[in-house]
Amino acid sequence: MIVCGGGVIYSGAEAALTEFAERHNIPVIETQAGKSALAQAHEMNYGAAGVDGSAAANRIAAKADLVIGVGTRLQDFTTGSRTLFGEAKLVGINVQSYDAAKHGAVSLVADAKVALEKLSAKLSDYRADAADPQARAEWLAAVDAHCAAPAGGNELPTDAQVIGAVQRASTPASIAMCAAGTMPGALKLLWQAAQGGYHMEYGYSCMGYEIAGAMGLKLAQPDREVLCFVGDGSYMMANSELATAVMRRIPFTVILTDNRGYGCINRLQQGCGGEAFNNLYADCNVEAQPQIDFVAHAASMGAHAVKAAGIPDLEAQIAAARGRDIPTVIVIDTTAAPGPGDGLEAAGHWWDVAVPEVGDSEKLKRAYAEYLDHAARQSLVN
Amino acid sequence: MKKKGLEMSGTVRLTAAQAMTRWLSGQMTGEGERFIEGVWAIFGHGNVAGIGEALHGIGDALPTWRGQNEQTMAHAAIAYTKGKSRRRAMAVTSSIGPGATNMVTAAALAHVNRLPVLFIAGDVFANRRPDPVLQQVEDFGDGTVSANDCFRPVVRYFDHITRPEHLLTALPRALRVMTDPADCGPVCLSFCQDVQTEAYDWPEAFFTPRVWHIRRPEPDARELEEVAGLIRAAKAR
């Protein structure tokens, strides 16, 4: 199994990786920075690795006896905090020896493109029996169903349903981009990227990267459509480069999901045995619940700003944004309740977030016991 | 007696900031484009007179982009280089103090993601005449400390420009880091505001355009053999 990291893209090794995976029948799973090196539609792309990983990817990861990291830092989301790869041997192909030697890997220090080409020549006609095409097909079908428009009613859409709407409205020229909150993990799990159609700042996962990042990305790739996902929390942290994009006539489309607070950390807080506190505005020490008008806010800087009435309207607004020479900000109210992978069988993996050792509630005690259980499976040497 | 080569090579008198912008405008990619596409800039007293004058003077040969906040200007620069797969980059310049430290979070972002950005942070007077200048951090026990020392752990190359001629070594080192696939990351040039404005007789040869190719290191033969053997021996469990 190959773990495809950002180094594949920085090396321009996408074609070499594709050829390597096809020729030797070795499945590819993706990190945040490596996602879209292979299009999701490619038969050897098993999707995202680890904490926010696909059922297909995590299944082959658990079975693999050799994991080949290419251009990856092996951060904790990729490795399930060092619990994902079981007893597998690890190979690190990396241009930086610091990364190539991580987690006890057998190092191959080289440019990713050159290394894959030379390795493929050495392997000649060797073909592994590692692929599991049925698991991959089942996973992609489950994602489509999970992200489908809600059947009816006026309930608030989930983040997964928003991703589904944007996906359906996207084209092969679209790039989904984001940095922080719920959406990075949700997009890594659910976004079915075209080749080169994904841009995630998930090394620092810096809230406030999104709007300015969308502008910089559009400058770099003016021929592609930039679809910027940002939550209300991250938008509130930094948004003012919208005005710059307006005055420099740099168009991109912002999908601003408003769940009235920090939905991602709210779920994490409760997953760690804590009480809902200081994340959603409803759980904060405030004298009045805020009613932030994001449409008016973005419009005041000159962006084209609209509120989407629901999932079908969101799809229509994304299409309508094409052809504008200024940013479009589409605001949509969402529910903070379910996680993006909730209800998807075998999606995701444990992530090491420290849980208090002592505390008053039974919920906390259960969370701590569960934490110890998972932590015991961490492979700390290799 | 002067050597012939030295006699033939002339000098050009420019401020340090003028020399920096002129030099950056001549650093090219293998595809014939400027490696540093442009400079995001918010001016304050720490960069307006020196770097600001130089950026105005160089015009479209090194375009200036005016943003709203130093951190988010740097986010735009970072997304630009990520979107270019590190083959081109941008610079970000600030005044001293809050403008500079606003960029520290973005420097860390670029550092973690192994992305090249050139941070040109204004710094306090090298000659210390107005000490403490507006926005200067004062260390009671170390006269060399400034707010820009916050960059040191979050850049791949840091340099403190306290004399104009430091640029002769600092600038090539900055581009070396930004175009090295293994060491790639952000650079901070902490550029004292008085030094930016000082004139110096620069060797003309310094400004000869230079092409920065991003190399592709070949694998070691033994490592390649070992990994090929591991793959051949692998079986899914």
Query: What is the CB neighbour count within 10 angstroms for residue A43?
Result: 13
- Which helix (H) or strand (E) element contains residue B199? strand B199-203
Which pLDDT score, from 0 to 100, does residue A343 have?
86
- C-alpha B226/C-alpha A108 separation (Å) is 9
Give per-residue pLDDT as tens, B183-227. 999 999 999 999 999 999 999 999 999 999 999 999 999 999 999
Contact list in A for residue B67 (CB cut-off 8 A) is: 212, 241, 244
A64–B224 C-beta distance less than 8 A: no
Give per-residue pLDDT as tens, B66-100. 999 999 999 999 999 999 999 999 999 999 999 99
Assign residue B108 the CATH number of its domain. Answer: 3.40.50.970
B84–A220 C-beta distance less than 8 A: yes
Residue ranges of A 137-176 with Cβ closer than 8 A to chain B: none
A211–B112 C-beta distance less than 8 A: no
Least confident range from A325-329, B5-9, B157-161: namely B5-9
Touching check for B236 and chain A: CB below 8 Å? yes
A215–B109 C-beta distance less than 8 A: no
Contact list in B for residue A214 (CB cut-off 8 A) is: 79
Residue ranges of B 123-142 with Cβ closer than 8 A to chain A: none
B236–A60 C-beta distance less than 8 A: yes
Contact list in B for residue A201 (CB cut-off 8 A) is: 78-79, 82, 109, 113
Containing structural domain, residue B147: 10-233
Touching check for A338 and chain B: CB below 8 Å? no
- Could you report how far apart the first and last alpha carbons of chain A are, in Å? 17
- Which helix (H) or strand (E) element contains residue B94? strand B89-94
Give per-residue pLDDT as tens, A305-322. 999 999 999 999 999 999
Alpha-helix residue ranges (DSSP H) falling in chain B: 4-8, 16-24, 53-58, 70-83, 98-112, 167-178, 193-197, 221-233
Does residue B162 belong to any structural domain of this protein? yes
Question: Token pair for residue B88?
Answer: 């081109």
pLDDT above 80 for B101: yes
Does residue B148 belong to any structural domain of this protein? yes
Does residue B215 belong to any structural domain of this protein? yes
A63–B79 C-beta distance less than 8 A: no
Average pLDDT over residues B1-6: 48
The residue type found at B152 is R
Does residue B5 belong to any structural domain of this protein? no
Residue ranges of A 75-114 with Cβ closer than 8 A to chain B: 89, 91, 93, 95-97, 106-111, 113-114
Given a contact cutoff of 8 angstroms between Cβ atoms, the answer to whether B123 and B193 are in contact is yes
Does residue B44 belong to any structural domain of this protein? yes
B223–A109 C-beta distance less than 8 A: yes
Residue ranges of A 187-216 with Cβ closer than 8 A to chain B: 199, 201, 203-204, 206, 208-209, 211-216
- C-alpha A244/C-alpha A263 separation (Å) is 28
- Tell which residue, B163, B127, B45, B55, has the closest CA to residue B94: B45
- C-alpha A68/C-alpha A105 separation (Å) is 9
Question: Token pair for residue B105?
Answer: 């979070």
- Which of A110, A209, A241 is the closest to B109 by Cβ? A209
- Which of A63, A91, A199 is the closest to B227 by Cβ? A91
B217–A114 C-beta distance less than 8 A: yes
Which pLDDT score, from 0 to 100, does residue B235 have?
76
Domains of chain A: 2-137 (3.40.50.1220), 147-333 (3.40.50.970)
Give per-residue pLDDT as tens, A332-351. 999 998 888 888 888 888 99
Touching check for B162 and chain A: CB below 8 Å? no
Question: Token pair for residue A81?
Answer: 């905090």
- Which of B71, B183, B219 is the closest to A110 by Cβ? B219
**B133 CA to centre of own chain:** 24
Question: Token pair for residue B175?
Answer: 């581009």
Given a contact cutoff of 8 angstroms between Cβ atoms, the answer to whether A181 and A207 are in contact is yes
- Which of A110, A119, A240 is the closest to B218 by Cβ? A110
- H/E/C letters for each residue in chain A? CEEECHHHHHHCCHHHHHHHHHHHCCCEEECCCCCCCCCCCCCCEEEECHHHCCHHHHHHHHHCCEEEEECCCCCHHHHCCCCCCCCCEEEEEECCHHHHCHHHCEEEECCHHHHHHHHHHHHCCCCCCCCCHHHHHHHHHHHHHHCCCCCCCCCCCCHHHHHHHHHHHCCCCEEEEECCCHHHHHHHHHCCCCCCCEEECCCCCCCCCHHHHHHHHHHHCCCCEEEEEEEHHHHHHCCCHHHHHHHCCCCCEEEEEECCECHHHHHHHHHCCCCCCCCEHHHCCCCCCCCCCHHHHHHHCCCEEEECCCHHHHHHHHHHHCCCCCCEEEEEECCCCCCCCCCCCCCCCCCCCCCCCCCCCHHHHHHHHHHHHHHCCCCCCC
Measured between CA atoms, how close is B43 to chain A, in angstroms?
16
Looking at chain B, the whole-number percentage of residues with pLDDT higher than 70 is: 96
Contact list in A for residue B113 (CB cut-off 8 A) is: 6, 33, 201, 203-204
Measured between CA atoms, how close is A35 to chain B, in angstroms?
13
Contact list in A for residue B105 (CB cut-off 8 A) is: 206
Q: Report how many domains make up chain B.
A: 1
Q: Which residue of A has its CA nearest to B89?
A: A220
Contact list in A for residue B230 (CB cut-off 8 A) is: 66, 89, 91, 106
The residue type found at B129 is R
Residue ranges of A 244-303 with Cβ closer than 8 A to chain B: 244, 248
Q: What's the half-sphere exposure (Cβ side, CA atoms, 13 Å) at A290?
A: 16
What is the interface pTM, i.e. ipTM, of the complex? 0.96
CB-defined contacts A:B, below 8 A = 188
Does residue B4 belong to any structural domain of this protein? no
Does residue B138 belong to any structural domain of this protein? yes
Touching check for B225 and chain A: CB below 8 Å? yes
- H/E/C letters for each residue in B140-195? CCCCCCCHHHHHHHHCCEEEEECCHHHHHHHHHHHHHHHCCCCCCCCEEEEEEHHH
- The parts of chain A modelled with pLDDT lower than 50 are none
Q: Which residue of B has its CA nearest to A1?
A: B236
Measured between CA atoms, how close is B81 to chain A, in angstroms?
7
- Integer-rounded Cα radius of gyration of chain B: 20
For residue A314, report the phi and psi dihedrals to the nearest 5 degrees: -60, -45
Touching check for B153 and chain A: CB below 8 Å? no
Q: Which residue of A has its CA nearest to B106?
A: A206
pLDDT band of residue B1 (cuts 50, 70, 90) is: very low
Given a contact cutoff of 8 angstroms between Cβ atoms, the answer to whether A368 and A356 are in contact is yes
Which pLDDT score, from 0 to 100, does residue B8 have?
53
Measured between CA atoms, how close is B109 to chain A, in angstroms?
5
Does residue B124 belong to any structural domain of this protein? yes
Which pLDDT score, from 0 to 100, does residue A382 have?
57
Average pLDDT over residues B39-61: 98
Query: What predicted TM-score, i.e. pTM, was given to this entire model?
Result: 0.96
Q: Which residue of B has its CA nearest to A222?
A: B83
Give per-residue pLDDT as tens, A251-306. 999 999 999 999 999 999 999 999 999 999 999 999 999 999 999 999 999 999 99
> Using alpha carbons only, what angle is made at residue A134 by residues A129 and A135, rounded to the nearest 5 degrees?
90
Measured between CA atoms, how close is A135 to chain B, in angstroms?
15
